[in-house]
Homo-oligomer: A and B are copies of this chain.
Amino acid sequence: MTTPSSSPWRLARRAERMNPSVIREILKVTERPGIISLAGGLPSPDSFPIDAMREASARVLRDSPREALQYAASEGYGPLREWVATQMAAQGLRVDASQVLITTGSQQGLDLVGKVLIDAGSTVAVESPTYLGALQAFAPYEPEVVTVPCDDDGPLPAGLAVAQGARFLYMLPNFQNPSGRCMGEARRAALVDAARAIGLPIVEDNPYGDLWFDAEPPPSLASRWPEGTVYLGSFSKVLAPGLRLGYVIAPPAMMPKLLQAKQAADLHTPGFNQRVVHEVIRDGFLRDHVPTIRARYKQQRDAMRAALEAHLPPGCRWNVPSGGMFFWVELPAGVDATALLPKAVDLGMAYVPGAAFFAADPKPNTLRLSFVTVSPAEIERGVALLAQALKGD
Q: Which residues of A contact B (CB under 8 A)?
A: 1-2, 4-5, 7-15, 18-21, 24, 40, 42-43, 45, 48, 50, 53-54, 57-58, 61-62, 65-72, 74, 103-105, 107-108, 111, 115-120, 122, 133, 136-137, 139-141, 167, 193, 196-197, 199-201, 225, 227-228, 236, 240-244, 251, 253-254, 256-257, 259-261, 263-273
Contact = CB atoms under 8 A, between A and B. Distances in A.
Contacts of A107: 264-267
B137 A264 contact: yes
Given A12-B141, A137-B264, A242-B270, 10 more contacts: A2-B196, A4-B228, A12-B118, A42-B71, A48-B65, A69-B240, A69-B242, A104-B104, A140-B261, A140-B264
A4 B54 CA distance: 48
Nearest to A274: B242
Contacts of A15: 116, 257, 260-261
Contact of A267 (B141, B244, B271, B272): B244
A197 B3 CA distance: 7
A227 to B, nearest CB: 7
A11 to B, nearest CB: 6
Given A140-B261, A266-B111, A241 B1 contact: no
Nearest to A245: B270
A251 B18 CA distance: 18
A229 to B, nearest CB: 9
Contacts of A140: 115, 261, 264
Nearest to A265: B111
A260 B20 contact: yes
A265 B246 CA distance: 13
B54 A70 contact: no
Contact of A21 (B120, B225, B254, B263): B263
Contacts of A200: 8
A103 B104 CA distance: 11
Q: State the oligomeric state as a number of copies.
A: 2
Contacts of A243: 69, 270, 272
Nearest to A201: B8
B8 A199 contact: yes
A244 B84 CA distance: 22
Nearest to A251: B9
Contact of A264 (B12, B18, B40, B62): B18
Contacts of A268: 244
Contact of A7 (B9, B242, B253): B253
A303 to B, nearest CB: 21
A309 B101 CA distance: 44
A71 to B, nearest CB: 5
A193 B2 contact: yes
B199 A5 contact: yes
Contacts of A10: 117, 167
12 contacts: A8-B200, A9-B253, A13-B119, A15-B116, A18-B257, A20-B256, A48-B65, A50-B66, A53-B65, A72-B242, A108-B265, A265-B265
B244 A266 contact: yes
A227 B116 CA distance: 33
A71 B242 contact: yes
